[in-house]
């Protein structure tokens, strides 16, 4: 069965809706036939429901911020949690949230807890100001969930999330590279047209 990877992010654009399955009538999930369960295969309807519910549970986590990045993969009834977080409690909270989803049989929690570092904390604040404080990118600062995620690990920066166009992606990259004390910037921002 094909493994599906979903990135957890919300944007002002239609990017979030694009990765979400098409609206369907509510699906009543009954236990899969024994032969499907042994192989870990799920029907498309069951997979879509699991994806939707896992995404919802992770989005509802109250303590994540712009410096945390969560993603997940669904393979049958198994969920793999991915990403980087600034606090260890977020890793265990994400796993607990996904455990509550009906039909999930196994969770592989591969979320990386970023090491505490006052230098990285200083860089995070400077990067936030450089990106979200810059007029052409301020539109991304609106709302609770910021679509540009700023991940800093030992002075190395990764930008994750979505932007509306290639220009915004390039501006975010230039602004991040302009912060002193950074060793490298990896720009993983995805362009999703509004």
Q: What is the per-residue DSSP string for 69-127?
A: EEEEEEETTEEEEEEEESSHHHHHHHHHHHHTSTT--EEEE-PEEPPP-HHHHHHHHHH
**Which one-letter DSSP state was computed for residue 186?**
E
Q: How confident is the model at residue 105 (pLDDT cuts 50, 70, 90)?
A: very high
Q: Is the CB of residue 56 less than 8 Å from the CB of residue 100?
A: no
Mean pLDDT of 38-63: 86
Q: Which residue has the higher pLDDT, 41 or 123?
A: 123
Instruction: Give the position of tokens 């591969």.
Output: 110
Q: Residue 28 has what pLDDT? A: 34
pTM of the model: 0.76
Residue 83 tokens read as 């990403």
What would the pLDDT profile of 80-91 be if each residue is shown by its tens digit?
Answer: 999 999 999 999
CA distance 189 to 162: 5
Start and end residues for every CATH 3.30.1340 domain found in the chain = 118-191
State which CATH number among 3.40.1620, 3.30.1340, 3.30.810, 3.40.50 fits the domain covering 118-191: 3.30.1340
82 - beta bridge partners? 71
**Closest listed residue to residue 28, CA positions, set 1, 46, 51:** 46
Q: How confident is the model at residue 123 (pLDDT cuts 50, 70, 90)?
A: very high
């Amino acid at each position: 069965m094909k493994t599906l990877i979903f990135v957890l992010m919300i944007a002002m654009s239609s990017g979030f809706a694009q990765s979400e399955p098409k609206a369907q009538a509510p699906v009543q999930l009954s236990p899969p036939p024994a032969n499907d369960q042994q192989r870990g295969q799920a029907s498309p309807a069951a997979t879509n429901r699991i994806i939707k519910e896992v995404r919802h549970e992770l989005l509802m986590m109250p303590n994540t911020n712009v410096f945390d990045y969560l993603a997940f993969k669904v393979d049958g009834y198994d969920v793999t949690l991915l990403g980087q977080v600034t606090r260890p409690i977020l890793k265990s909270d994400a796993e607990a949230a996904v455990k509550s989803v009906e039909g999930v049989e196994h969770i592989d929690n591969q979320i990386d807890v970023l090491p505490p570092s006052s230098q990285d904390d200083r860089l995070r604040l400077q990067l936030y100001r450089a990106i979200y404080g810059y007029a052409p990118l301020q539109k991304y600062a609106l709302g609770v969930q910021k679509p540009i995620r700023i991940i800093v690990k030992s002075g190395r920066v990764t930008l994750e999330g979505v932007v509306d166009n290639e220009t915004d992606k390039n501006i975010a990259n230039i602004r991040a590279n302009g912060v002193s004390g950074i060793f490298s910037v990896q720009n993983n921002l995805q362009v999703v047209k509004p």
